[in-house]
Amino acid sequence: MKQDMIVILDLGSTQNTAVARAIRSLGVYSEIYPHDITLDALKKLPNVKGVIVNGGPNRVVDGQEIDVAKEIYQCGYSVLAIDHPKAKNMGISMMEKLPEEEKMAEILRPFVLDNCHAEQNWNMQNFIADQIELIRDQVGDKKVLLALSGGVDSSVVAALLIKAIGKQLTCVHVNHGLLRKGEPEQVVEVFRNQMSANLIYVDASERFLGKLEGVADPEKKRKIIGAEFIRVFEEEARKLEGIDFLAQGTIYPDIVESGTKTAKMVKSHHNVGGLPEDLKFDLVEPLKQLFKDEVRACGKELGLPDSMVYRQPFPGPGLGVRCLGAITRDRLEAVRESDAILREEFQKSGLDKKVWQYFTIVPDFKSVGVRDHARSFEYPVIIRAVNTIDAMTASIEQLDWPVLLKITDRILKEVKNVNRVCYDLSPKPIATIEWE
Ligand code: XMP
């Protein structure tokens, strides 16, 4: 990293990432470290221009007040303490309560720019140029493997690595048969045809559907999909010769949150990992300093299409957890087609820019209807559209009737085996975002 940096020391504030993001929005790089970092470790970090001691009401742990090492206040760095009584004594500016993120940047501006004299050179062009150099240094003339799901993070990693090392990168795109309409085709089009990547496309749909046949329990389904995914990826990796590195789309929140997450597991999430011990790779993680919006900005800068860069979150097990119970081909088709209609109509009405996540679900029961003057017995489609900041809680998007009616009309006319459309009004909690 060549950029100047402001270090945030975490004394239990819930606002650490907001402060880091506010500083980055000023064009100055910032990272968060635990409060018990030693002065030596702090001094080893590159280009530190100032330190923010970020406290808040949580800085008392088990009745004990926690603080950073005393030497840090006296070692010559500019120090700003937030919500910290000591700050008053030391004559350092203090804020009683942090304002919302946008205003925060303005409040921090004098400290960052005037006190610390940090240079405003944090931007995506510099980040990409730095990373290309770092990736080339790390990888040399060796080969790198990437599981390219088509999600935002792995797509941006792919684009960055293609730029840095071209054909030394091999991307593997596993189609588990539970992807959305048009997704595998887009991955092939963008990466193989437009970016000339080394792309191995594996259509494992039949294999996954076979493994999932008759399995109705949501956790079992998730585990089968996750394990099978690793197996397919592993088989492809074994076919390749001389791979030394595995690239991953780890991003900054994954690093900041790991270790501090105490939340009880509600569902087993699946992402690539857990490769067998004998397949040992070194990791290339070029996005590990970026927040999600920066990952998107990086992807745009690298020329990825908006539909990829602004893609809504999509779970690893894909449509498998939206085709409820034991997956059948007719219901999977109904989920895929109704989801495509929903996405198309959301895009037409601009809702795709406003709503965080939206999709359809097809349950494993039928209801009675009437079609062409005769009784029908077909599946319902459930629409879900939610807004959230961190996916831990979610509220319902209050969709306008005309949009809902248009989508309903299209689903009933265009999707086979469906005779009813419902809208899910449940927030998280009590519900979760996905149905399984
Ligand atoms: P829930 O259903 O737990 O979902 O409220 C919260 C968010 O996580 C997404 N999700 C996943 N993402 N792998 C992922 O990468 C998974 O296995 C997975 N399961 C759920 C879900 O779509 C929602 O955005």
State the distance from the centre of ligand 1 to the C-alpha of 296, rounded, in angstroms: 19
State the distance from the centre of ligand 1 to the C-alpha of 317, rounded, in angstroms: 9
CB-based contact 215:228 (threshold 8 Å): no
Look at residue 260 in the predicted model and tell me its pLDDT: 46
Q: Which domains occur in the chain, in start order?
A: 5-115 (3.40.50.880), 124-309 (3.40.50.620), 327-423 (3.30.300.10)
CB-based contact 190:156 (threshold 8 Å): no
Look at residue 97 in the predicted model and tell me its pLDDT: 54
Helix (H, G, I), strand (E, B) or coil at 413: helix
Q: Any idea how long the chain is?
A: 436
Look at residue 11 in the predicted model and tell me its pLDDT: 87
CB-based contact 205:247 (threshold 8 Å): no
pLDDT tens readout for residues 316-331: 999 999 999 999 999 9
CA 268 centroid distance within chain? 16
DSSP letter at 419?
A: E
Identify the burial level of 426 via C-beta atoms within 10 angstroms of its C-beta, where 0-12 means exposed, 13-18 middle and 19 or more buried.
middle
Structure tokens at 101: 């993120």
Structure tokens at 240: 């390749």
Q: With a cut of 70, which residues of the chain have pLDDT below it?
A: 1, 56-58, 60-61, 83, 85-99, 258-265, 270-273
Q: Is the beta carbon of 154 within 6 A of some atom in ligand 1?
A: no
Q: Is the beta carbon of 393 within 6 A of some atom in ligand 1?
A: no
Helix (H, G, I), strand (E, B) or coil at 389: coil
State the distance from the centre of ligand 1 to the C-alpha of 316, rounded, in angstroms: 8
Buried (b) or exposed (e) across 201-233, using 16+ Cβ within 10 A? bbebbebbbebbeebeebeebbebbbebbbbbb
Ligand 1 atom closest to the Cα of residue 268 is: 17
Q: Which residue's CA lies nearest to atom 17 of ligand 1?
A: 269
Mutating to test ligand 1, I would choose from 432, 433, 435 the residue with most ligand atoms within 8 A of its C-beta, which is 433
Structure tokens at 427: 């927030």
Ligand 1 atom closest to the Cα of residue 357 is: 24
CB neighbours of residue 255 within 10 Å: 14
Look at residue 320 in the predicted model and tell me its pLDDT: 98
Look at residue 88 in the predicted model and tell me its pLDDT: 45
Structure tokens at 223: 């585990």
Judge if the upstream peptide bond of residue 429 is cis by omega within 30 degrees of 0.
yes
Q: Is the beta carbon of 271 within 6 A of some atom in ligand 1?
A: yes
CA distances to 351, 358, 412, 426 from 346, rounded to whole Å, are 5, 9, 17, 20
Cα end-to-end span (Å), the chain:
42
pLDDT tens readout for residues 243-291: 999 999 999 988 887 644 344 567 777 666 678 888 889 999 999 999 9
State the distance from the centre of ligand 1 to the C-alpha of 166, rounded, in angstroms: 32
